[in-house]
Structure 1
Amino acid sequence: MSEQASSKPMYEKIFDEVKQHIIMKVYQLGERVPSEKELADAYNVSRITSKKALEMLAAERLIVRKPGRGSFVADPDTDFPEPLPASAASSGSERSTPSVVNPEEKTIGLVITDFGNSYGTGLIYGMEQAARDNDCFLVLRRTFGLPENEEKSIQKMLSLGVDGLIVFPAQGEFFNAEILKLVIGRFPLVLIDRHLKGVAAASVSSDNMTAALKGTEYLFDLGHTHISFLSPPPVDTTAVEDRIEGFIQAHAQRGIAVDKGLWVSDLTSTLPNSFNDENIERDISRLVAHLESIPSITALFAVEYNIALLAKTAVERLHLRIPEDISIICFDSPPTHLGGGYPFTHMRQNEEEMGRIAVENVLSIMNGHAVPNRVALDARLIPGESTGPAKQPNAQ
């Protein structure tokens, strides 16, 4: 047990311990819980790590975050007057068992890597609303991006007797055997956020290629032509692959040569099973060295919000200004009114609509109706404070 606990990411450990303190009434209803800085100091971690833990607590409605004041233990009756129709188990581990559901209700299992203010919470809200509207029950399990947790979670859902499944596949090269079994057995299944190549399963995601194309064109319109694309290794993950394709297509349409030497595509600290201070520091140092070695870069296109945070830290360490010296654009960004968020220019995915369609499509499959094999929703460009006109080179 101790080995398993020690292998958990620090943000999950902080989440678990604060959650336990809330359950045990160490923190009373309405009482302030430790801040990002206080948790970072107490656990000797970065504020990115403590922030993620607080985001997870807020996503599970255990706390409410009040701008300028802090985070407080939530009162379900006043902070969240609308009841939750979902039973949430905290992860793919066996430490908690989902409640037994009413057999007369349609039950949908949701297996998701993780969620936070920047991405994922909106998906769950959309699913919850659709579940309420359709009088069905939603059971949630998190996998933290670990394929073995994903397999166990799917098996657990099936043992509970769920009528259908929505799966946010774990990041990695392979889709697990349990998903393949579901497809072969024609079990009601909808994949969310990405599709799996070669697997005939219905999916709901953003139109990642078009979104990346629009974001890149926005940078071109600001005069940026030396743009560094920042991502984790694509490893056959369609969402990342599609964003890379959109980035390349935007260059082709403008007649601008793609220089992959400007890219950094080996960032791993934001992956669910690699999120720790050592990896974060390694990635930031990697970006610092990259920007120092290629001073012609004027803009960074981060494939996700947490990578944009790494990029922002790297730029600031070099004493460069955002956006005067370097612009940053990314996918998704927490609403700044929630507190603590930086207003990046970003492509905002329609998460709640994705969640709603996923639930409605899996219910349609349950009822024997055909659904589109792939649904891709538009993402909107939201201008923020992180982008501006390209800096003109000084005469040497």
Structure 2
Amino acid sequence: MDFASRKPLYEQIYENLRDKINREMYPIGSKLPTEKELIQTYKVSRITVQKAVNLLAAEGLVRRRSGVGTTILKREKSLPSNTLLGLVVPGILKSFGTNLLIAMATETARYGYSLIIKFSQEDEQLETKCVQELLDLPVRGIFINPLQRSFYDPLLMQYILDDYPIVVMDKEFFGIDEMFVGSNHLNGARLLAKMIEKLGHTNLGVISYKDISNSTLQIRQDAFVQVYAHTDTPLKANTFAKIIETSYSHHDDDAALNLDIERIKQFILRKKPTCLVVPDSYIGALTREAISELHLKVPENICLTGFDINNELNQSIRYTYVKQSEATIAKLAVKMMADRLQGKSITKRVQKIPGEIVDCQTVIQKQLMHPLGQ
């Protein structure tokens, strides 16, 4: 493995295993090495190996079965371009991404298409390159989950405006007449904000990224402002702590990680919120560590909630969150693309799926707490 490469280890392992399957080092019908063996071979974590194998499963090259192992189903083969669709994603969060990829591959296959997956690594130039490579193949249409940073790729914008078959997922491009499928982030955030407000929490802390801004993050923040604007305690500017400088795709520097955790700790000590809200599982994990280092208990001393979650976490360290249905997003996105390619009229170009609160008992009545400083 090239540990100096900007390409994530899981993607390098995925490409290496895919190459071995294509060269019949792992014949069809045989088993892929076990997780333990792959961990030893590549000298990486179990999570990294799982991500790599999940990508193989998303492309239909292998099938994973608990207790049986991972079976090789087929090799890649050259496909006529009229059956190809492209998918560009920034990466895979533990809370959002893996199930979407698998569902996208399954749904496209059901319509008779094959999916070419490209990773933009949260990089603007690489996203443009991924789109151009798919156009050069050519593919018949492109699905794209944009970067976390608000970035309007001129190449992509031009093709959307020219009505090329492009379906945007998860994060909207404001002001563009696009085909979009994603969660109803406003609805989900309002549900969460109303729940928190009804439980008596008026001193909140909403933790977010310092240098990352996109439509999803802004919509969620606006929802909290709107809900509390109709109460006796509207949210103040210091509720929103844009302090996180690392991200899920760029967090190899332990010193930078520790600085982010320290910033969260200082924010908690300074503002003394009774409830913290996080935008994703990455900041959720940093916040959990900060809370632990302060020797605070959830929810007795401080409540924790947010959006999306790493389902591999033990139940004891999960938090109440708004869940996105990756399978539904994939199903609607692929149907929209198929209808567009078949010349059908797209009467509803923007489709949003309602969010659902999953209660993990980490937000309780404020009056039942023993919060910091009281």
TM-score, normalised relative to structure 1: 0.79
Cα gap change, 1:170/1:14 in structure 2, threshold over 3 Å: closer, same or farther?
closer
Partner of 1:383: 359
1:356 maps to which residue? 331
Shift of 1:112: 0.6
Report the alpha carbon displacement of residue 324 of structure 1 after superposing the two structures with TM.
0.6
Following the alignment from structure 1 to structure 2, what is the Cα–Cα distance between the partners of residues 31 and 189?
36
Q: Which amino acid in the other structure matches residue 330 of structure 1?
A: G
Checking the alignment, whether the CA contact within 8 Å between 1:129 and 1:356 is kept in structure 2 is no
Is 1:102 matched up with 2:102?
A: no
The residue type paired with residue 56 of structure 1 is K
**Alignment correspondent of 2:318:** 343
Letter of the structure 2 residue corresponding to residue 8 of structure 1: R
Paired with 2:69 and 2:38, the residues of 1 have a C-alpha distance of 19
What letter is aligned with 1:57? A
Structure 2 CA distance for partners of 1:16 and 1:261, relative to 1, 3 Å: same
The answer as to whether partners of 1:164 and 1:363 remain within 8 angstroms in 2 is: no
- Within the candidate set 178, 181, 185, 1:204 is matched to 181
* Counterpart selection for 2:48 from 41, 50, 53: 53
Question: Which amino acid letter does the alignment assign opposite residue 149 of structure 1?
Answer: L
Residue aligning to 2:217: 240
* Structure 2 residue ranges without an equivalent (≥5): 58-62
2 CA distance for matches of 1:241 and 1:290?
A: 21
Contact 1:146–1:273 (8 Å) recurs in 2: no
Q: CA deviation at 1:284?
A: 0.6
2:306–2:321 Cα contact (<8 Å) kept: yes
Counterparts of 1:395 and 1:140 in 2: how far apart (Å)? 50
Aligned with 2:33 (options 25, 29, 35): 29
5 Å-filtered alignment, 1:1-396, equals: 6=4, 8=6, 12-13=8-9, 16=12, 20=16, 29-30=33-34, 32-33=36-37, 50=45, 53-61=48-56, 78-79=68-69, 100-103=78-81, 105-233=82-210, 236-273=213-250, 276-295=253-272, 297-336=273-312, 342-371=317-346, 372-390=348-366, 391-392=369-370
**Offset of 1:53 from its aligned partner?**
2.6
For 1:175 and 1:355, the matched residues in 2 are separated by 22
CA distance in 2, matches of 1:249, 1:189: 32
Query: What is the CA-CA distance between 1:165 and the residue it aligns to?
Result: 0.4
- Cα offset for 1:106? 2.5
Partners of 2:326 and 2:299 in 1: CA distance:
28
| Cα separation, partners in 2 of 1:234 and 1:352, compared to 1, 3 Å | farther
Q: Deviations over 1:286-331 (max 9, x none)?
A: 1011111122x11101011111111110011001111111111111
Task: Mark the CA change 1:379 to 1:31 in structure 2 (over 3 Å): closer, same or farther.
Answer: closer
Deviation at 1:394, TM superposition (A): 8.8
C-alpha separation between the residues in 2 aligned to 1:265 and 1:346? 20
Alignment check: 8 A CA contact 1:164 1:187 kept: yes
Q: Distance in 2 between matches of 1:365 and 1:110?
A: 16
SS in 2 for 1:228: strand
Alpha carbons of structure 1 residues 257 and 31: separation in structure 2 relative to 1, 3 Å: closer
SS at match of 1:347: strand
Paired residue secondary structure (2:187): helix
Shift in Å, 1:52: 5.5
Counterparts of 1:220 and 1:259, CA distance in 2: 15
CA 1:382–1:267: 2 relative to 1, 3 Å: same
Q: How far off is 1:276 after superposition?
A: 4.0
Q: Normalised by the size of structure 2, how large is the TM-score?
A: 0.83
Report if the CA contact (8 A) 2:120-2:127 is conserved: yes
Question: Aligned partners of 2:178 and 2:126: how far apart in 1?
Answer: 20
CA displacement at 1:393 relative to structure 2: 5.9
Amino acid aligned to 1:373: R
